[in-house]
Amino acid sequence: MITNIPGYLRIGSQRELKKACENYWAGKISLEKLELTARQLRKQHWETLHQAGIDLIPSNDFSFYDQMLDMSMALGVIPARFQELQRSFANPHCLELYFAMARGYQKNGFDLTALEMTKWFDTNYHYLVPEFDESQTYGLQCRKSVHEFKEALQLGIRTKPVLIGPVTYILCGKIKSAGITRQALLSRLLPAYIELLTALREAGAEWIQLDEPSLVTDLEPADTALFQQAYTAIRQALPHQQLLLTTYFGGLENNTQLALQLPVDALHIDLVRAPEQLDDVLAALPENMQLSLGVVDGRNIWKNDYTVSTALIRRATAAIGEQRVMLGTSCSLLHVPYNLDDETALDPAIKQWMAYAQQKVEEVAALKQILAGDETLLTINRQVMDSRRTAPGIHVPAVKARLAAITEADFSRPLAFAARQALQQEKLQLPLLPTTTIGSFPQTVEIRQLRSNLKKGHITQEQYDHDISTAIREAITWQEALGLDVLVHGEFERNDMVEYFGEQLEGFVFTQNGWVQSYGTRCVKPPVIYGDVWRPYPMTVDWSRYAQSLTDKPVKGMLTGPVTILQWSFVRNDQPRMDTAFQIALAIGDEVKDLEEAGIAIIQVDEPALREGLPLRKKQQGIYLEQAVNAFRLSVSQVQDSTQIHTHMCYAEFNDIIAHIAAMDADVITMETSRSQMELLEAFAQFRYPNETGPGVYDIHSPRVPSVTEMSKLLHKAAALLPVRNLWVNPDCGLKTRKWPETEMALRNMVQAAREVRKEL
């Protein structure tokens, strides 16, 4: 039986790639040094998989920034605005252009905004959205995947190059010129795509993996036709190339026939998310097609239950024979951390239930061994699975009882929004178009150092508290000087908006090295929710109270919402996800209540990940949204009507869920809109969204400083769409990844823009 890994990690177990890229951007290391780091990482990854005995080892799963951007570079999908920059480079396919498209470019007389970024299906990974326009000519432009295949070959490893499939690539992109249909676009792109496949074939690739996760989503009939068109053309051009069509993140459902009709040699399916699809696929699998079973979870950190997996695999082998079955992880391991062995501080009782990428690869190998007759591995695994069902902390009766006692009234505030708005205005006395920020300020080396020194015991709690207080005090003075209306404390004490809370709640454990990539060089370290969640003591009250004591302006309390905590954690898989969300909501609700009691008049509960939890299939979305909105409401509804509840969301598209956003009934919602030029607000306008909104006027993902005029224009655009008295002025998101000087310039411009627009309206 062949073992198959759809993709491995790339950032480095010590985040080497992150550091190298950032140093390269800062001009601290050369391109050669950056490329050396990349080469070393690729080698390590290939060798890890090779040593574990994996047969189909991925290549081109490495990326300096994002695999979708890699495809755009490969095929020449360069947006019109970057083409002049491209011509200005000696090497037109160079990394310089690549990073410019990823991060924006404000240098040598150019001022180019980055590609839009959005979530990769239902993950917390963000890709750069391809932009298709009239001006482009396609062709094999960047041979990265070929180089990497050859690089592995030189190390003695014949890899399986991984590409985003042509249809998913197009469906995940945006057509910028009117009149281009997807079908026409595909016809134009296919020759380039085929050129790429041909180059890989000529380099010696036996298998090529084409990722088509859009096959687990609801497809329009026209999209279905794209699959036929693409794969027929590819097969015609490369009649003998072995193609592995790869799906993940869900079941094929009504696309099963479509997938099975495509002229490919093997199909990979996700049996962790959708084990029920196995029988349908087996029943209709064409005789010349192999089936790759994704049985080891690529999206979560729990140890595989071998009893469950072997049963699935045996069903497949019984139906189609061992020769046609491959065995692997459900999806790329990009979404889990490197190696559990690096976790030296984890409670061993909990650690024994977990597996990271390295262990998951070993699990795939172990499953193969069990199927070959090794019973001991199975027995040991059964014991571990049993211990998890009964261990202390997993089921806490008091938490279960509180959850059972929730009533309808717990989800609503006493008064409706209009009445609350009047009370809040009376209390807060804010100007028209109030200015604020989303919460975090630059996390400088000193601030990070401070936290790490406390963790390592190099400084006392008193010293730490003193230094954090100083940072907060300086931030308050600085915001007052800038003239912002609603201030924040700056979140200096937080490493990450979820981990910070996870560390203080029961039912969570946190890891030392559990990093996963979020976008580009940004990584997050999700906590692990292993048991029932509750809050033993207040988490943010002291810092908020202190910040508020320094100023007469309101300082927002700053919390992360239940859905986001859920979404950005590794969640236990032994009870429904939403039960866990409601437990978190009760804990956050306790904090909201305590903040109010401490005199905090505005409390922001961030839910940037609300949409991210949206099931990929429409028919499951309604119930999810209802429950997610309820979890949010449960966390904020216990306050007085004069207390203003904010929420914040980023890089989301709201058009289809606007009714649910409204149902959250936050007094104010701030959100990312600048990169898409306020496109998002149109949905709010159409819906006649009743509450207050703060559409972001400045893109915080890039160091670029937006001008006053630019932001004024966006404000005018917003004012044309929504009632002015309901509008706020703020950046797209928190500023933790920025540097102070650019932040100061940008916020000064932002306050100025608000002042000017106030006069003009």
Phi-psi region of 193 (alpha: psi -120 to 50; beta: other; left: phi over 0): alpha
End-to-end CA distance of the chain: 70
The string of DSSP letters for 429-467 reads -PPSS-BB--SB----HHHHHHHHHHHTTSS-HHHHHHH
Query: Is 116 labeled as ligand-binding?
Result: no
How many residues bind to ligand GLN according to rule CB under 6 A?
Answer: 13
Please report how close the Cβ of residue 564 comes to Zn ion at its closest, in angstroms: 10
Q: Which of 192, 509, 733, 750 binds ligand GLN (CB under 6 A)?
A: 733
With binding defined as CB under 6 A, does residue 490 bind ligand GLN?
no
Query: Is 147 labeled as ligand-binding?
Result: no
545 binds, among ligand GLN, Zn ion, none (CB under 5 to 8 A by kind): none
With binding defined as CB under 6 A, does residue 38 bind ligand GLN?
no
- Tell me, yes or no, if 701 is annotated catalytic: yes
Instruction: Name the residue nearer to ligand GLN (CB basis): 224 or 518.
Output: 518
Q: Are 747 and 705 in contact (CB under 8 A)?
A: no
Q: Are 639 and 697 in contact (CB under 8 A)?
A: no
With binding defined as CB under 6 A, does residue 547 bind ligand GLN?
no
Structure tokens, 736: 């933790």
Alpha carbons 82 and 202: distance in angstroms, whole number: 31
Q: Which of 608, 694, 696, 706 binds Zn ion (CB under 5 A)?
A: 608
Find the angle CA(719)-CA(721)-CA(725) to the nearest 5 degrees. 45
Query: Is 495 labeled as ligand-binding?
Result: no
Q: Which residues contact 376 (CB under 8 A, 6 or more apart)?
A: none
Find the angle CA(259)-CA(261)-CA(267) to the nearest 5 degrees. 45
Residue number with the smallest Cβ distance to ligand GLN: 734
Instruction: Name the residue nearer to ligand GLN (CB basis): 633 or 648.
Output: 648
Query: Is 522 labeled as ligand-binding?
Result: yes
Structure tokens, 15: 């985040």
With binding defined as CB under 5 A, does residue 733 bind Zn ion?
yes
Stretch that binds ligand GLN, among 26-34, 78-86, 549-557, 733-741 (CB under 6 A): 733-741
Alpha carbons 327 and 347: distance in angstroms, whole number: 31
Q: How many CB atoms lie within 10 A of CB 546?
A: 18
Q: Are 272 and 330 in contact (CB under 8 A)?
A: yes
The string of DSSP letters for 107-164 reads ETTEEEPPPPEEE-TTSS-EEEPPEE-TT---S----HHHHHHHHHHHTT---EEEEE
Stretch that binds Zn ion, among 28-36, 579-587, 642-650, 718-726 (CB under 5 A): 642-650
Alpha carbons 555 and 476: distance in angstroms, whole number: 9
With CA atoms as reference, report the closest residue to 632 among 658, 604, 664: 664
736 binds, among ligand GLN, Zn ion, none (CB under 5 to 8 A by kind): ligand GLN
With CA atoms as reference, report the closest residue to 267 among 257, 415, 719, 276: 257
Please report how close the Cβ of residue 730 comes to ligand GLN at its closest, in angstroms: 10
Please report how close the Cβ of residue 21 comes to ligand GLN at its closest, in angstroms: 21
Instruction: Name the residue nearer to ligand GLN (CB basis): 213 or 731.
Output: 731
Instruction: Name the residue nearer to ligand GLN (CB basis): 518 or 621.
Output: 518
With CA atoms as reference, report the closest residue to 157 among 167, 169, 148: 148
Q: Are 216 and 270 in contact (CB under 8 A)?
A: yes
Instruction: Name the residue nearer to ligand GLN (CB basis): 370 or 603.
Output: 603
Query: Is 607 labeled as ligand-binding?
Result: no
Structure tokens, 733: 């998101």
Please report how close the Cβ of residue 737 comes to ligand GLN at its closest, in angstroms: 9
Please report how close the Cβ of residue 700 comes to Zn ion at its closest, in angstroms: 8
Q: Which of 152, 650, 661, 718 binds ligand GLN (CB under 6 A)?
A: 650
Alpha carbons 37 and 546: distance in angstroms, whole number: 44
558 binds, among ligand GLN, Zn ion, none (CB under 5 to 8 A by kind): ligand GLN
Q: 552 burial class (0-12, 13-18, 19+ CB within 10 angstroms)? A: exposed
Query: Is 606 labeled as ligand-binding?
Result: yes
Please report how close the Cβ of residue 370 comes to Zn ion at its closest, in angstroms: 44
Query: Is 119 labeled as ligand-binding?
Result: yes
Query: Is 172 labeled as ligand-binding?
Result: no
With binding defined as CB under 6 A, does residue 648 bind ligand GLN?
yes
Q: Which of 219, 267, 650, 750 binds Zn ion (CB under 5 A)?
A: 650
Among positions 591-610, residues that touch ligand GLN (CB under 6 A) are 606, 608
Instruction: Name the residue nearer to Zn ion (CB basis): 112 or 669.
Output: 669
Stretch that binds Zn ion, among 289-297, 485-493, 688-696, 729-737 (CB under 5 A): 729-737
Query: Is 648 labeled as ligand-binding?
Result: yes
Query: Is 523 labeled as ligand-binding?
Result: yes
Q: Which of 193, 485, 734, 751 binds ligand GLN (CB under 6 A)?
A: 734
Residues facing 612 on adjacent strands: none
Instruction: Name the residue nearer to ligand GLN (CB basis): 280 or 503.
Output: 503
> Which residue ranges make up the site for Zn ion (CB under 5 A)?
608, 650, 733
> Which residue ranges make up the site for ligand GLN (CB under 6 A)?
438-440, 491, 497, 558, 606, 608, 648, 650, 733-734, 736
Active-site positions read 701
Binding positions: 15-18, 119, 124, 438-440, 491, 522-523, 568, 606, 612, 648, 650, 672, 733
Binding positions for L-homocysteine: 438-440, 491, 606
